[in-house]
């Protein structure tokens, strides 16, 4: 079904998921409801990752999918990915403005221009809300390891079921020295690969880059690749020509340390690194690999996911 890179292969798998009731159409591309079975698979994977990470004694944090607008402006996301961002706007007027808003709605006019920006943005990466919480701190000799999860938003509507606009990321983030961050990225690249392969997913680690925007983005992509800052664990879901990244391992250098005033144990801006698991994408890869009937999945996979 999903062998080539034409748009029909993506739509075919999406329709298959709809018919099976695993995903539920919302009428907006990339925004779907999930069935109980789909969620069971995601929760099973999260339990598995938790077990694998527990010996490292991470701090555990869960954030809502919202980030302070003031904190967002400290990050170069608007410069690098303006096409992906999500800004929250709301109504802040009084009775006269409300009457005008309702009139425009009734008359088919653009009422959204009467909204004002709220104090929050939709977060584009699960780790972004973490760094502001460490502003003004100096890390101890061992640094910090945080296990976190959140829904994230990226405005890229698509018929590719793996390219959702709203989805979840499970991350392990390291704050510390340059050596600690690099070791974290490299160790979790291998650990993440082993976790996914143990579930029957034939992932491959590849050097990658983020989808930087515009002409300046070409240089940023090349620089990121030359410095080998990002690896992705990829697997064909709907295309053998363009396999899907279901996990990524990222080295941020001291970018967030500078941006949020976080110092390492040596007094220099802290370095950070993370692994991110795309939970919906991993579920989609599992359904593509093992079939849409979870009861027929290999016994070993079901046991690792603690599925009844």
Residues 89-141 pLDDT 10s: 999 999 999 999 999 999 999 999 999 999 999 999 999 999 999 999 999 99
pLDDT above 70 (res 1)? no
Q: What architecture (CATH level 2) is domain 7-67+124-304? A: 2-Layer Sandwich (3.30)
Check residue 74 and give its pLDDT. Answer: 95
Q: Where does the pLDDT of residue 214 fall: very low under 50, low under 70, confident under 90, or very high at 90 and above?
A: confident
Check residue 251 and give its pLDDT. Answer: 97
pLDDT above 80 (res 4)? no
Check residue 7 and give its pLDDT. Answer: 79
The 3-state secondary structure of the chain, one letter per residue: CCCCCCHHHHHHHHHHHHHCCCEEEEEECCEEEECHHHHHHHHHHHHHHHHHHHHHCCEEEECCCEEEHHHHCCCCHHHHCCCCCEEEEECCCCHHHHHHHHHHHHCCCCHHHHCEEEEEEECCCCCCCHHHHCCCCECCCCCEEEEEEEEEECCCCCCCCCCCCEEEEEEEEEEECHHHHHHHHHHHHHHHHHHHHHCCCCCEEEECCCCCCHHHHHHHHHHHHHCCCEEEEEECCCCCCCCEEEEEEEEEECHHHHHHCCECCCCCECEEEEEEEEHHHHHHHHHHHHCCCHHHCCHHHHHHCCCC
Overall pTM > 0.85: yes
């Amino acid at each position: 079904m999903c062998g080539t890179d034409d748009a029909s292969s993506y739509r075919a798998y999406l329709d298959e998921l709809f018919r099976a009731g695993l995903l539920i159409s919302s009428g907006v591309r990339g925004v779907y409801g999930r069935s109980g079975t789909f969620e069971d698979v995601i929760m099973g994977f999260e339990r598995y990752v938790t077990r694998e990470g527990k010996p490292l004694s991470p701090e555990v944090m869960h954030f809502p999918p919202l980030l302070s607008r003031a904190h967002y402006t400290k990050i170069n996301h608007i410069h690098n990915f303006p096409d992906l961002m999500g800004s929250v706007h709301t109504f802040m007027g009084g009775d006269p403005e409300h009457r005008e808003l309702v009139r425009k709605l009734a008359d088919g006019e653009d009422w959204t221009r009467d909204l004002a920006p709220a104090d929050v943005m939709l977060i584009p990466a699960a780790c972004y809300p973490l760094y502001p919480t460490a502003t003004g701190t100096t890390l101890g000799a061992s640094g910090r390891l945080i296990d976190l999860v959140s829904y994230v938003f990226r405005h890229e509507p698509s018929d590719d079921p793996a390219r959702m606009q709203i989805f979840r990321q499970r991350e392990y983030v390291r704050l510390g020295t340059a050596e600690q961050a690099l070791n974290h990225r490299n160790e979790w690249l291998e650990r993440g690969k082993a976790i996914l392969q143990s579930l029957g997913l034939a992932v491959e680690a590849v050097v990658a880059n983020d989808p930087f925007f515009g002409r300046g983005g070409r240089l940023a992509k090349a620089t990121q690749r030359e410095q080998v800052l990002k690896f992705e664990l990829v697997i064909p879901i709907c295309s053998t020509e363009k396999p899907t990244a279901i996990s990524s391992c990222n080295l941020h250098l001291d970018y967030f340390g500078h941006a949020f005033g976080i110092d390492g144990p040596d007094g220099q801006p802290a370095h950070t690194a993370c692994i991110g698991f795309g939970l919906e994408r991993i579920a989609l890869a599992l359904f593509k690999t093992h079939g849409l009937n979870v009861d027929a999945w290999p016994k070993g996979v079901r046991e690792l996911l603690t599925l009844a």
